Amino acid sequence: MNKTAAALPRQAAISVLVALSVTHLLNDMIQSLIPAIYPIIKEAYHLDYGQIGLITLAFQISASLLQPAVGFYTDKHPMPYSMIVGMGCTLFGLIGLAFASSYALLLIAAACVGLGSSIFHPEATRMARNASGGRQGLAQGIFQVGGQTGGALGPLLAAFIIVPLGQRSLGWFSIAALLAMMLMVWIAGRYAGIAPATRKAASPGAPAAPAASAPRNVVFPFIILIVLLFSKNAYSASFTSFYTFFLIGKFNISVQTSQLMLFLFLASSAVGALCGGILGDRIGRARILWFSILGALPFSVMLPFADLFWTGVLTVVINLIMASSFAAIMLYAMELLPNRVGLVGGFFYGLTFGLGGIAAAVLGGLADQYGIETMYQICAFLPAIGLFAWFLPRLREA
């Protein structure tokens, strides 16, 4: 009887965690449709690479502005139902993208999708940590695999639905947004009953939560973590925004084929995020972090000079390795500020997302001026920025 009662909070928390992962999938799937339609709108609106980069910038900057503020507020005043409002913004932006009649409206619609993301991620990150049952790496891995899988579905959906049917077929994906909103209502109600039981189950005999580090001990590690994520997001932005153009221009393949290769690249993120979270709990997050840096660099340097087959292989390997570190970076930051999980989630999703958008705009300018192949030769060295991890204080392993 007692064992059954003790198991209920964990079972309930796992159900919430899986549901959060599904909503993360739907949220990021909708977001991934923005870069997935770039080949279509580039031709339809006569855009250059710089303008494509500005669309990414509008989306990612709006996704970054509110996230730290939302996370800071919900740490003190949890608002599970705020995710529904965020998905409503995403739905509005999605419809706008489907029926935009000008480049300016495309920018506004992309910004609305980003705004929805800025509301969703901080609260969902905090809820995922509280639903972890103590296995933080596994929890972040499950949560991240939903987002990474959703991001990977965008190019696949573009190849088989949006490219054949056109820009307005984006409107059909409003069904996914409505489904996510209904699921969020269930999560919020379920979580409201689970959170008190989870806190009560964790209190008897459990070690006290670590105290937050002094501000002077937090700033420098945070800067290093931001640099690490920036290097990864900037490199990923070169793929989400320009990879299809690179493949079409260099290998003369069709739009559908380029979208399928982009799907393979993004799908590897889901596998990498889950494996990185699980292995981080077992072998230590420091090892995962260094593997993601040193393991990806040789392959990224080789990529611009490979043929079509090895380009596909190398992009999958690179993203598989790089994505493995995200849970480690997030958990390191949460250990620095253990009582500000929402703030940490908002800050890292938000700021680094915005920096990735700036990188996309800069890379678009480089592609216009020097050519897209030269741009990828420059990007090959972005993973080397991760060597700044040497200056991080030693990770406190569970």
Say how far apart CA 244 and CA 253 lie, in whole Å. Answer: 9
Domain boundaries, the chain: 12-200+211-391
Asked if residues 4 and 155 have their Cβ atoms less than 8 Å apart, the reply is no
Token readout for 52 is 């494509």
Profile the chain (398 residues) by mean pLDDT over runs of 10 residues. Answer: 44 74 91 83 87 85 76 78 91 92 92 88 80 71 80 79 85 93 88 56 46 62 83 84 89 86 82 77 77 86 93 91 80 78 72 73 88 91 86 61
Helices 255-283 and 136-157 meet at what angle, rounded to 10? 180
Question: Are the C-beta atoms of residues 49 and 369 closer than 8 Å to each other?
Answer: no
Q: Cβ atoms within 10 A of the Cβ of 330, count?
A: 26
What whole-number distance in Å separates Cα of residue 228 and Cα of residue 310? 26
Q: Residue 65: which of 121, 21, 27, 26 has the closest Cα?
A: 121
pLDDT on residue 4: 44
pLDDT at 44: 86
Torsional class of 14: left (φ above 0), alpha (ψ -120 to 50), beta (otherwise): alpha
- Distance between CA atoms of 70 and 107, rounded to whole angstroms? 23
- Nearest residue to 349 (alpha-carbon basis) of 339, 337, 341: 341
Evaluate whether 108 touches 243 at the Cβ level (below 8 Å).
no
CB-CB contact of 119 with 181 (8 Å): no
The Cα 355–Cα 358 span in angstroms is: 5
Structure tokens at 162: 């949006």
> Is there a contact between 94 and 26 (Cβ–Cβ < 8 Å)?
no
Strands (E), the chain: none
Q: What is the pLDDT of residue 205?
A: 46
What is residue 337's three-state secondary structure? Answer: coil
How far apart (Å, rounded) are the C-alpha atoms in residues 260 and 74? 38
Q: Is 146 exposed, middle or buried (0-12, 13-18, 19+ CB in 10 A)?
A: buried
Are 90 and 142 within 8 A, CB to CB? no
**pLDDT for the residue 194:** 56
Q: How far apart are CA 296 and CA 6, in angstroms?
A: 43
Using an 8 Å Cβ cutoff, are 61 and 267 in contact?
no
Q: Which CATH number fits domain 12-200+211-391: 3.90.79.10, 1.10.10.10, 1.20.1250.20, 3.40.605.10?
A: 1.20.1250.20
Distance, CA of 315 to CA of 264 (rounded, Å): 8
- Cβ-based burial of 196 (10 A; exposed 0-12, middle 13-18, buried ≥19): exposed
Angstrom distance (rounded) from CA 168 to CA 98:
4
Query: In the block, which residue shows the tokens 């390191």?
Result: 332
Burial class (CB in 10 A: 0-12, 13-18, 19+), 198: buried
Q: How big is the CA angle at 344 (ends 113 and 150), to the nearest 5 degrees?
A: 40
The pTM score is: 0.68
Rounded Cα–Cα distance for residues 141 and 136 (Å)? 8
Q: What is the pLDDT of residue 341?
A: 73
Burial (Cβ within 10 Å: 0-12, 13-18, ≥19) of residue 241 = buried
Report the Cα 2 to chain-centroid distance in Å: 40
CA atoms within 13 A on the CB side of 320: 11
Residue 391's identity, in one-letter code, is F
Exposure string over 151-165, b if 16+ CB within 10 A, otherwise e: bbbbbbbbbebbbee
The answer to whether 333 and 210 are in contact (CB under 8 A) is: no
